Chains A and B, each alone.
Chain A
Amino acid sequence: MFYLTLMNSLSYFAPSLFLFTVHIAMDAFRADVLTKVLGSAISDASHSQFYNAFVFTMDFIYVLLISSMIFFSLHFTNSYKKFKPYIYAVSTLFGFFAITVFIVLVVDVFRGLIDNAACNLNII
């Protein structure tokens, strides 16, 4: 019973939890990849508005997709002509979001573990 209630509550808050995960992953992507790729063009990485805007733009796109989906689901059924292509597109975009989050977090975790191991070896 506890397990089912926990799962229900998690699925109820799934959009916000996924937004948090996307935010964390995009922040890691910004710190690890974006600042290095665009380092020559934008020098001040920590205070640059461009780097900070990237994370919030991704959050905004996610919120926009969720909000439009709620609007479409409230007002149209699946028999509406434009509904299906839209839902398929949103589903695909969410899938790409999930794959990106997974890849970024896996790379970040392993990079952190390798760096920690290197630090420990240096201390020894």
Chain B
Amino acid sequence: MRWMLVASTLIYALPIIVYVILFRKASILFEVIMGAFSFLFYGPTYLNILNIYSICRIDDISWGTKGLEGGSDKNAGLKDSWKLIKYVHVGKYVLWNIIASAVLLSLGSDYIPRFFVTITMVIIMAITLSVKIIIAIIYMISYKLSSCKCCERDKFV
């Protein structure tokens, strides 16, 4: 299991190696290592805080309307219904997360269920990472090939 965890983390190295080989720019390694800490630090903010704030302000349409919606009381009923929908949505969000937390924590109290929960999470992480990495490598190779073609065309011209 630990080897799987290490392997799924080391998949990150694959696009970096491909980038270094294709573009001959080793400084990207330093940038990735330095960026990894800030990525880790801000990860929960992006995943939790911004998500929660956006769900809790889903009825807020004040942005981008230049205050046009503020003066009229015509849509007061509509706003109230949006507010109700928002509370229902937030309530569902909280309830589902409480249920998921209770299930995960009760499964995590014993070793064997914890092993299976963790391995499922690692597999999901590895699959999503693999998809991203395969697409990134294909994109890098196609970009490199297209730029090489452009260089050759410029030489002929």
Interface residues, chain A, with chain B CB atoms under 8 Å away = 3, 6-7, 10-20, 23-24, 27, 59, 66, 69-70, 73-74, 77, 87, 90-91, 94-95, 97-99, 102, 109, 112-113, 116
Residues from chain A with Cβ under 8 Å of B124 in the complex? 6, 10
User: B28-61: which have CB < 8 Å to A?
Assistant: 37, 40-45, 47-49, 51-53, 55-57, 60
Which of the candidate stretches B68-76, B92-100, B144-152 sits at the interface with the other chain?
B92-100
Q: A13-B96, A16-B101 are in contact. Are A113 and B47 (CB under 8 A)?
A: no
Q: Which B residue sits closest to A116, measured CB to CB?
A: B2
- Residues of chain B within 8 A (CB-CB) of A113 are 2-3, 6
- B94 to chain A: closest residue by CB: A70
> For the complex, would chain B's binding face be called helix, strand, loop or mixed by DSSP majority?
helix
**Interface on B for A, CB 8 Å cutoff?**
2-3, 5-6, 37, 40-45, 47-49, 51-53, 55-57, 60, 87, 90, 93-94, 96-98, 100-101, 104-105, 108, 114, 117-118, 121, 124, 128, 131
Instruction: List the A side residues contacting B5 at CB < 8 Å.
Output: 109
In the complex, chain A residues whose CB is within 8 Å of the CB of B98: 16
A120-B47 Cα distance, complex, nearest whole Å = 40
Q: How far is the CA of A7 from the CA of B124 in the complex (A)?
A: 10
* Contact B105 A19, beta carbon cutoff 8 Å: yes
Asked if A98 contacts B44 (CB within 8 A), the reply is yes
Who on chain B is nearest to A67 by CB? B94
**B38, closest chain A residue (CB):** A95
Partner of A94, one of B44, B53, B57, B121: B44
Instruction: Return B21 CB to nearest CB of chain A, in Å.
Output: 27
Top 5 closest A-B pairs, CB basis?
A73-B56, A94-B44, A16-B100, A95-B41, A16-B101
Given pairs A91-B44, A109-B2, 15 additional interface contacts (CB within 8 A): A6-B124, A10-B124, A14-B47, A15-B52, A17-B100, A18-B47, A20-B104, A69-B48, A70-B52, A70-B90, A73-B55, A73-B56, A94-B49, A95-B41, A109-B5
